[in-house]
Amino acid sequence: MVNPSETREGAEEIAVAALGFVAADPALLGRFLSITGIEPEAIRLAAREPGFLAGVLQFIIAHEPTLIAFAQTAGIDPASVAEAMRNLPQGDDRYEAST
């Protein structure tokens, strides 16, 4: 059985779930928008950009309590979030290439 985080499609599903998790929490959404500089009405447009989904996972990973809460909600191992990030464009853990 293939771990969903090991394929690009599975990684995208995890990242979309993470975006939904962030969007459902006003405090997290506010922090995400503040850190990224994205305006709320521009999220859909930004989501089409290469690296956006990896950036969502980077945001989740950067704060351990958020990572744990998301992983529990999604029913996945927290380590698979980082694995999923690495399977997305610009999700290779290199700050310069990922921002």
Per-residue tens of pLDDT for the chain, all 99 residues: 446 667 888 999 999 999 999 999 999 999 999 999 999 889 888 888 889 999 999 999 999 999 999 999 999 999 999 999 999 988 875 544 444
Whole-number pLDDT of residue 30: 95
Whole-number pLDDT of residue 92: 75
Q: CA 53, CA 43: separation in Å to the nearest integer? A: 11
Q: CA 41, CA 38: separation in Å to the nearest integer? A: 8
